[in-house]
Structure 1
Amino acid sequence: MKFAIALFSPPHAPASRRALRFAEAVLAGGHDIVRLFFYQDGVHSASANIVTAQDELDVAGEWSRFIAAHQLDGVVCIAAGLRRGVLDEQEARRYARAAANLAAGWELSGLGQLHEAAQQADRLICFGGD
């Protein structure tokens, strides 16, 4: 089965950890992940500037490692990212910002990527949000 997973919550929220564990279980079960799409406050998971307290699980770091280890498509909604200060090099230049902070392995793209993933997948599973 093919899954598309969308995350709407920040990395410190329980929904982010649940989404990560679900994604791990999907692959462990022999299924495929078409795309991971991070929207609303979920875009913070892709920031290279997240610092997690030493006594807490670094969920943002785990997402980055998971995406890299499995060569997954980790997409950050560009509009939500810009609104929350998550920028790649191109967007930092375009908006004359001092630095980019999109972590390696992530891609900024439009909401159409979520729609496309939903069309390609057998199931779209969403975590978090208001």
Structure 2
Amino acid sequence: MRFAIQINEGPYTHQASDTAYQFAKAALAKGHEIFRVFFYHDGVNNGTRYTVPPQDDRNLQKLWSDLAEAHKLDLVVCIAAAQRRGILDANEAKRQGKDGDNIAPGFRISGLGQLIEAGIQADRLVVFGD
């Protein structure tokens, strides 16, 4: 089965990102494909490289980055939601006149068209969070 995943909640304010990560790991372990993971609303906060959780807490940004690297996952952060929350890649930082970017490794910024495409290409779109 080919899945697309949408995450609407931040990594430390809601269980949605943890649950989505565990779902993705389990699906991949069972031989399923993940077409794309789309981070929307507060879910874009999963994609900042400046997350520094306490040592005894999980680092969801790193977990997602590592999973993406291991399985060549497409982690897409919604551009409008990201800009509202101060998450920029190098191109967008330059375009906005900012002196740096903060997108995490393995993540990329794009528009809602990527979510629409994921819904079309996947057998199932699974949404985590409100």
Q: Is the 8 A contact 2:61 2:104 kept in 1?
A: no
Q: Partners of 2:106 and 2:29 in 1: how far apart?
A: 21
Instruction: Give the match for residue 18 of structure 1.
Output: 19
Instruction: Give the match for residue 2 of structure 1.
Output: 2
Does 2:94 align with 1:111? no
Instruction: Give the match for residue 83 of structure 2.
Output: 82
Structure 1 residues 36-115: aligned runs within 5 Å? 36-115=37-116
Deviation at 1:93, TM superposition (A): 0.7
Higher mean alpha-carbon deviation, 52-61 vs 36-45, is at 52-61
Deviation at 1:98, TM superposition (A): 2.0
Gaps of 5+ in 2: none
**CA deviation digits over 1:32-83, x for unaligned, max 9?**
0010000111111110101111121111110111111111111010111111
Q: Is the 8 A contact 2:10 2:45 kept in 1?
A: yes
Gaps of 5+ in 1: none
Q: Partners of 1:83 and 1:46 in 2: how far apart?
A: 13
TM-score by length of 2: 0.96
Q: Partners of 1:41 and 1:68 in 2: how far apart?
A: 23
Identical columns (%): 50
Q: Which segments of structure 1 move beyond 3 Å, counting only runs of 4 or more?
A: none
Q: Which amino acid aligns with 1:111?
A: L
**CA deviation digits over 1:2-57, x for unaligned, max 9?**
00000011111211100000000111111100100001111111101011111211
Q: Partners of 2:95 and 2:85 in 1: how far apart?
A: 16
Q: Is the 8 A contact 2:35 2:121 kept in 1?
A: yes
How many residues were matched structurally?
129
Deviation at 1:103, TM superposition (A): 1.2
